[in-house]
Structure 1
Amino acid sequence: MMSGNATQCEFIKENFFFLDSTALDKVESKLYGYVIDGDQVSMGNSASDSAGYSGKDGAFVYVNRQGNEITITQDFMGCYGIYVFQKEGYFAVSNSFQLMANKLKKLFPLTLNRDYANHLLVRTVSSVSMEGTLINEIRLLPKNTRIRIDVANSVMKIEEFDEHELSVPIDSKEGIELLDQWYDKWVNIIRNLKKKTNNIEVGLSGGKDSRITFCLFLTSDADLRELTIKSLKDGLHTHKEDLEIATDMSKQYDFPLNVNTISRNLSPYTLEESMDISAMTMLGFHKEMHFKDASYEKTLYKFTGSGGEALRGDWSMELPAFLERSRKIAEWYTTPDLSQSTEKIIKDSCKMIAKQINCPDETSFKVVAKLYEETYSRHHFGKATVESLSANIVTMMPLMDSLLYKLNTINEKNKDMELIFVLILDRYCKSLLDVRINGGRKYKKETIEYARYLNEKYPFQKRNREIARLEEQDNTNKTVSMTSRPIENIREKAEEYLWKSFSSRDCQQIFTRYFSKEIYSKAKLYANQFDYYPMRHVNAVLAITKAISDVTESQRLTQDSVFGYFGSFGQEEDAKRVRDVLYRGAMIRSFVKNLMTARIDIKNMKSSGNDLKIECSDSSCKISNPQWFGKDGKGYQIESLAQEIRIKVNCVHDGELILFLRGLDIRDDENVKIPVYIDYQYLAIDDEVIFDGLEEIWHDKPYEYKSAVKDGEEHVITVKWGPHGYTNMELLQLMDRILGNA
C-alpha cells in the first residue's frame, strides 16, 4: 500500500499546477479554485477576469495567458500560496509547495531551511512565516503579490500591490459606508446562493466569530428552515457549551439545529488519494490535516466565522510579549535552537509587515496583530479551505473579506479592536448582542456605547427584501439525521498509516540525523497524550523528513505521490527496491555524498599531551584521529552529512584550539585532487558568531580559526553548511571527472 506508483487523482491534476521557463508556450489560462467577484461565486470556466482578480476574495490562483504575457494572481488571503524558484535564468512557479519540491529535486540541488523546520516543530498549529518554506530555494510569495511573465523573453517579474489595509477609519462616514458595503455584499451572496441550492451549511458556536456570520443569515430574509445550521457535538468540554448556546439561539430565532438538508450524493476517495490531497495542500505549513473521504456531487457552500480572531486582534500585543509567549511554547523542548529559530522567523515576518504597512516600529502591536492575518489565517484557514475544495466544499468566510481589512478600528477614541464586531451586531441585528458568549466573555461597556453612538450618527437604512427560497425544486435534498454517513470516515485509517510510517526505524533514523531524539520522542508523547488533533507534531516530523529526503537525496525519488514516499518505511522485504529508487546505484550515491559531506579538522595544539574530549550532535558522523594530525596534540577529523552540527569540546591542558573547515579529499584516476566545493554558511563558538554568510571552501582551500584555550574549558562549536550551487553543466562535468569510467 502507498507504493507511490498510482497516478495522481483527478483533483490534484485539476487544482494544482507547475510551470517553468522551459515550457511557457504550453501555458494556458485557468482559474484554480473559486473567486468571489462582487456578490457572485465563480469557479472554473464560469470565471471571467475582465476586471482583474488580484486581491479579490475566495480561494484561488488564476493563471491568465494573453498573447506573450502570463499574469498569475491570487486571492486576498493567499489561500493556495504562490511558490517560486529562481536560479541562473531559470524560474518555476506552482500553487503547491510539495508539487514544486517533487519537480525541482530532479533538476537542482536543494537545501533544508533549518530555521523554518525548527519553528514548524514549535508552533502549535501552523507556520508564522511570511515567505519561508522547508526548502531554502523555494519561496512563498506574500499575499499582496502577483507575477507577470514575458513569454517572448522568458522573464518573470514579481509585483507587490497596495491592498489599502487599515486605510479607512471605522468611525468615519466612509468607514461606516464600507461596512454597509460588506454587509450588502454578503447578504446578496447568501440570497443568490439560496435561490440556486439548499446545499448551504452555517457553522454556529457560542463564540463571537460564527455569530457575525450567523447575523448575515438572520437578516438576509433567507428561509433558515431550509438550510443546515450546525453546531459541533463531539463531546469536548468547550464545544459542549457552544452547543448549549447554539441550542438556545435556535429556540429564540426559530430555526432547526443540526438537521441536515445537504445532498448526500458522494463520490469516495481512496486512502492514498485523500492523503495525497491533504499533503499537496497542507504538509509543511499546517499541522492538522483533515483527510477528506469523499466529494459531494453537488457543491456544498459552507459558511464559517474563520479569521475573526485577526479582526478582533487575538495577537494584539507588542512584539516582546509575543516572543515571550512563543518562548514558553518552545520550553516543551530542551533544544535551544528551536526557540531561537522561531524568534528569527517571527522577527523577519514582522519586519516585512512593518515595511508593508509603513509602520516605523517593527515591535508595534499593529504589526503583530497583522502577523495573524498574514500567516496564521493564511496557513490555518486558507490551506484548510483549499483542502475542502477536494470535497467540492466552497468555504465562505465573510470575516476574511478584504473590505473589512481596509477598516482601521484603533484611534484616540477607541483602543478596542472588537469595536467592529459590536458595530456589526448593533447595526444589523441588535438582539444578538444580548446572547451570551462562551467562556463568560463579554464586550466592553464603553465599546458598546461607542458603537451605538456611531450607528446613531450614521444610521442604517433597513433593506426591504422578499424571502429568498429555492427557485427550482431540489429533489436530491432530503432531511436526514446529522449522524447519517453513507461513506466510511477515512481519517482514522490515514492517521494509522502515518503513525506506522512515523514509528518506523527508517523515519526515525532520517529525522534524528538532523534533529535530536528528544524532538522525535516529544512528537510521539504528544500523540499518545492528547485526543484533539494528536498527530500535530507527528505531521511536522513527517513533513520535515520528506523535506530532508528531497534535499539530501535529490533526483532519487520518482513517484508523484507525496505520501507514497512513506509507504516503504518498515517494509524489510522492499529494502532493495527502496534502495534502487532512492539511490539509483551506488556510484550516484557516492557522488552525492562527496557533494554533501563537510570535513571539520579540530585540535588542541601545544604539546603531545594536549587533547580534546568530543561530543557531536550528529550521531552518524565519522570521527577519526589520523596519525598525520597528531603532532603537538591529538587531532580529530570529523566528517558529517547533516548540514548542521554542534560539537562540544572539553579541553585537556592549555593550548590553542585550531579548527579547519574543509571539503573531502577527492582525487581522479591519476591521483590529482579535484576541487569539490562545500558552501559553509555559519560558524559560531559558544555565543560568538564567527561568520554568518557564504564561505565557498574545498579541501585545499579551508577556512581556518584559532583561539587560545585553558585546561578544562568547555566550548560548543556550531557549523552549518550545504552543497555548493553548481550549475547543471558543472555537475555533469564534475560527475564525469570523479566517476571516470566506473
Structure 2
Amino acid sequence: MENVIKNNDLQNVKFDINSEFFVIDANNLEKVSSKLYVFCLDNSHIVLDIKDLHKDFGNEGAYVYVKNDDNIITVKQDFVGCYGIYIFRQDDYFAISNSFMYLVDYLKKNYKLTFNKDYANAFLSSNLETFSCQETIINEIVVLERNAIIKINKAKRSMEIIHKNYQENSLEPDSKEFFASLDMWYFKWTKFIRNLKKKTNNVMVDLTGGFDSRITFLLFLGANINLDEIFINSINDNLYTHKKDYEIASKIANHYNFKLNQGNKFITSKSYYKKQDCINIFAYLKMPFHKQMYVNVEKNNFPMYSFNGFGGEAIRSYWNYGINGLIKKESNLCYSMKKYPKILKSIKKIIKRASRSIRNSYFNFDDDYFDICYFRETSNRTHFGKATLEWFYLNNFCLSPIFDSNLHKLKLSDRNCKDKNLLIAIIFTRYIKDIIKFEFNDGKYIDPKTIKYAQYLNNKYPFIDNQNKEMVSKSNNINDVSETMKEENTDIEQKNNEVMDYFNSVFLSEKSKYLNNS
C-alpha cells in the first residue's frame, strides 16, 4: 500500500546557518566546539558525528573537521577541499571559517575589508566558477589550499599551517606500488557499495557514454549487487550528448542484464525549505566562487546516495592548456573582451598568481601535471566540491570514487606510453574487462596502443580478488519502513520556480550585466 503525502501534510525544514558554519576567533579559542561538518568516509562507512571517527580517518567525503583538545585546536578538510577554509589575519589576530560569507558577516563591523577588483573582474567574466586558487573577493581573506591543516596553540594564541603530502601523481605505472594503490581503491569502494546496499536500495549511479561515469559504474559491477534494486540513471532526451549516451548505456545494460532508470523501489518522502533557506544554502556555501545554484526546495526525509564521475578530468587526458592557454581560454569566454582591457588584465593576474600558489603548495611539483593540479585546486573543488555540499543539504549523499586520494597518487602515463589515458585504460582492462568494448560518446576513444600496453601491465601485475562476494539483494527497509512513498504536491514546481526567479533576477539583471562589462 502506498503512503500519499497530501499538500496540507507538507513539512518545512530549516537551514540553521549558525550550526552549519563556524568562526574560530583568536580571542575566543576556549569557546571552540569539536565537530565534524557534513560527512566523512571512514572504514567503508559514512560518518556524520566526530565521536564515531577512527583516529586515522580517511580523506574522502565532504568535510571540515574541528577538534578542540587540551591545548591544540586542529582544523582539517577532505581531499577535495569541498568547503574551503577561509582565513582573515591582522597583526596577531586571526579568524577562521568554513564559509566565506559567514566570515565576512562576522568581521565586517569591526575590521576593514577591501575589495579585490582583480578577483571580481575575473569572476564576473568567467563562465561558471572562479579560476582563482587562494584569492577571494576580499583582499584580507584567503582560502587555504586543499592539503592545508591548521594547528592552533590556545595558550600562545598562535596558528601554524601544515601542508599534507598526498603524493599526487607520484607512482609509476610499471610498479607494484602503483597497482597496490589502485587495487586498494577498487576494494575500498566495492566494499563500501556492498555495505551500503545491505542497508538500503536508495542508491543511484550515473551511466552515460563518457569515460568518468563508466569508471564509477564498473565498481558496481565488481561489487556484485542486484542492480535492478537500485537506480541506474541514464538521461534519455535530445540535449547535449544525452541521446547517444542513452544508446550506449542501453547496450551496456543489455550486456550485463540490468534495467535503466528503474526507481520504483525507492523510499521517498519530502520536506521543504522556504525560499530564504535555499538562498542561504547557496550564499554561504558558494558565493562568490560559483554562479549557479543547484539547491531546490525539496529535502529527502530518507537519505539518498548518488554516485557519479565527478573529477574524472584529473585522471585522464583532458586539460592541456598551460598558463598562456588558460589565459586565452578564459579571455575568449567574453566575446567583447578586447573592449575591456582592465578585465583582460585581471584575468592574467589571477591565473598567474594562482599558478605560483599551486607550484609552491605541491610537494615535488611536476610541470607535466600543471593543468591537472590547476583543475584540482580550482574547478574541481569549486564546481564539484561545493555541489556535493549542496546535495548534502537535500539529504542526498553525493559520492565520487574518482575523488579518492589513492587514485590520485597514480601517474597517468609513463616513459613507454606518453598517453595520459593510460591510467583509465588500466582500470577498464583490469577489473571488468568487457566494459571497454563499448564505444564512448562524442568521438572519444582510447588509443589501441595504450590499451595494449595497459593489458601488458595488468598481466605483469595481475589482479587477485580473493574476496568471496555473494550477490547482495534485499528489499528496501530503511528505518523499518517497507512501503514506497508517493508524493502528490502540485506546489513543488511553483516553489522551485520562485527560488530560481529570484536568483535569475540577481545574476541576469541589468545591474549584473553592467558590472560584467564595466
TM-score w.r.t. structure 2 length? Answer: 0.91
C-alpha deviation, 1:195, in angstroms: 0.8
Match of 1:541 in 2: none
- Equivalents in 1 of 2:445, 2:371: separation in Å? 24
The match for 2:150 is 147
One-letter amino acid of the structure 1 residue matched with residue 256 of structure 2? Y
CA contact (8 A) 2:23 2:97 kept: yes
Distance 1:503 1:394, change over 3 A: closer
Tell me which residue corresponds to 1:465: 469
Structure 1 counterpart of 2:99: 96
Deviations, residues 130-154 of structure 1 (Å, cap 9, x unaligned): 1111111111000110111112222
Classify 1:387/1:503 alpha carbon distance in 2 versus 1 (closer, same or farther; 3 Å). Answer: closer
Deviation string 1:30-89 (CA, Å, 9 cap, x unpaired) is 000111123222112553252256xx1110001001112110010011001100111122
Structure 1 Cα separation of the partners of residues 425 and 490 of structure 2? 41
Query: How do 1:68-147 and structure 2 match up within 5 A?
Result: 68-147=71-150
Query: Is 2:350 aligned against 1:353?
Result: no
Query: Does the 8 Å contact 2:311/2:403 carry over to 1?
Result: yes
Contact 2:201 2:475 in 1 (8 A): no
- Match of 1:439, SS state, is coil
- Aligned with 2:286 (options 282, 285, 307): 282
CA deviation profile, 1:655-704 (whole Å, cap 9, x unmatched): xxxxxxxxxxxxxxxxxxxxxxxxxxxxxxxxxxxxxxxxxxxxxxxxxx
- Report the Cα offset of residue 484 of structure 1: 8.3
Change (3 A) 1:254 1:485: farther
Q: How is 1:669-680 mapped onto 2 (pairs within 5 angstroms)?
A: none
Check the 8 A contact 2:37/2:64 in 1, yes or no. yes
Which residues of 2 match residues 403-552 of structure 1 at below 5 A?
403-462=406-465, 463-470=467-474, 473-474=477-478, 476=481, 488-489=492-493, 490-501=495-506, 508=511, 517=514, 519=516
Between the aligned partners of 1:345 and 1:365, the Cα distance in structure 2 is 21
Quick check: 1:300–1:392 contact (8 Å CA) kept in 2?
yes
CA distance in 2, matches of 1:180, 1:205: 24
What SS does the aligned partner of 1:267 have?
strand
- Specify whether residues 52 and 180 from structure 1 end up closer, same or farther in structure 2 by C-alpha distance, changes over 3 A only: closer
Residue deviations 1:131-186 (CA, integer Å, cap 9, x gap): 11111111100011011111222222222221111121122111011111100000
Residue equivalent to 1:192: 195
Cα deviation for residue 349 of structure 1 reads 1.6
Provide the residue aligned with 2:43 in structure 1: 38
Aligned in 2, Cα 1:114/1:37: closer, same or farther, shift over 3 Å? same
- Is residue 256 of structure 1 aligned with residue 259 of structure 2? yes
Identity %: 36
CA contact (8 A) 2:167 2:363 kept: no
2:210 is matched by which residue type in structure 1? G
In the alignment, what sits opposite 1:272? Answer: 276
Task: Kindly indicate whether the alpha-carbon contact (under 8 Å) linking 2:201 and 2:476 is maintained by their aligned counterparts in 1.
Answer: no
Q: Max radius of gyration: which structure?
A: 1
Select the residue among 296, 300, 305 that pairs with 2:300. Answer: 296
1:23 equivalent in structure 2? 28
AA matched with 1:352: S
Note the alpha carbon deviations across 1:170-224, whole angstroms, 9 max, x for none: 2211101111110000000101111111111111111110000100001111111
Can you list the C-alpha shifts for 1:611-637, whole angstroms capped at 9, x where unaligned?
A: xxxxxx8xxxxxxxxxxxxxxxxxxxx
Aligned residue among 322, 333, 342 for 1:337: 342
Distance (whole Å) between structure 2 residues aligned to residue 182 and residue 397 of structure 1: 12
What residue number does 2:226 align with?
223
DSSP-derived class of the 1:19 partner: strand
Which whole-Å CA distance do the structure 1 matches of 2:506 and 2:133 have between them?
A: 30
CA distance in 2, matches of 1:267, 1:285: 28
SS of residue matched to 2:114 = coil
What value does the CA root-mean-square deviation take over the aligned residues? 2.4
Secondary structure in 2 matching 1:259: coil
AA of the residue aligned to 1:517? Y
Residue 160 (structure 1) aligned with residue 163 (structure 2)? yes
Give the Cα–Cα distance (whole angstroms) in 2 for the partners of residues 396 and 105 of structure 1: 36
In 1, Cα distance between equivalents of 2:300 and 2:14? 16
Alpha-carbon distance between aligned partners in 2 of 1:360 and 1:80, rounded to the nearest angstrom: 24
Contact 1:196 1:471 in 2 (8 A): no
- 1:491–1:471 distance in 2 versus 1, CA, 3 Å: closer
For residues 95-129 of structure 1, what are the alpha-carbon distances to aligned partners after superposition, in whole Å with 9 as ceiling and x for unaligned? 01111111111111111111111111222121121
The 8 Å contact of residues 42 and 57 in structure 2, kept in 1 or not, is answered as no
Cα distance change of structure 1 residues 228 and 502 upon mapping to structure 2, 3 Å threshold: closer
Amino acid corresponding to residue 196 of structure 1 in structure 2: K
Deviation at 1:242, TM superposition (A): 1.6
Q: CA deviation at 1:10?
A: 3.5
Q: How many angstroms apart in 1 are the aligned matches of 2:229 and 2:290?
A: 34
Matched, 1:326 2:330: yes
Distance, in Å, in 1 between the alignment partners of 2:298 and 2:208 is: 25
Runs of at least 5 residues in structure 1 that lack an aligned partner in the other structure: 1-7, 521-616, 618-742
- Counterpart of 1:293 in structure 2: which amino acid? V
Work out which of the residue numbers 386, 389, 392 in structure 2 matches 1:389: 392
Label 1:491 to 1:120 Cα distance change in 2 as closer, same or farther (>3 A). farther
- 1:316, 1:365 within 8 Å by CA — same for their partners in 2? no
TM-score by length of 1: 0.64
Three-state SS of the structure 1 residue aligned to 2:140 is coil
Shift of 1:360: 7.2
Aligned with residue 183 of structure 1, among 162, 182, 186: 186
Closer, same or farther in 2 for the Cα pair 1:268/1:234, shift >3 Å? farther
The residue that corresponds to 2:9 in the other structure is none
Change over 3 Å in CA distance of 1:435–1:473 after alignment to 2: same
Instruction: Find the partner of 2:62 among 59, 62, 69.
Output: 59
Residue 17 of structure 1 contacts residue 94 of structure 1 at CA under 8 Å; is this kept in 2?
yes
Q: Which has the higher contact order (CA 8 A, sep 6+)?
A: 2
For 1:366, what is the secondary structure of its paired residue? helix
Using the TM superposition, give the Cα deviation of residue 25 of structure 1 relative to its aligned residue in structure 2, in angstroms: 1.2
Distance between the aligned counterparts of 1:293 and 1:324, measured in 2? 38
Counterpart-to-counterpart distance in 1, 2:274 and 2:165? 43
The Cα offsets for residues 416-436 of structure 1, whole Å up to 9 and x where unpaired, read as 221111111111111110111
Larger fraction in strand: 1
Q: Equivalents in 1 of 2:376, 2:254: separation in Å?
A: 35
Does the residue aligned with 2:332 lie in a helix, a strand or coil? helix
Match of 2:242 among 231, 234, 239: 239
Alignment length (residue pairs): 501
Residue type at the aligned position of 1:146? I
1:464 is matched by which residue type in structure 2?
N
Q: Distance in 2 between matches of 1:348 and 1:89?
A: 25
Change (3 A) 1:493 1:227: same
CA contact (8 A) 1:316 1:366 kept: no
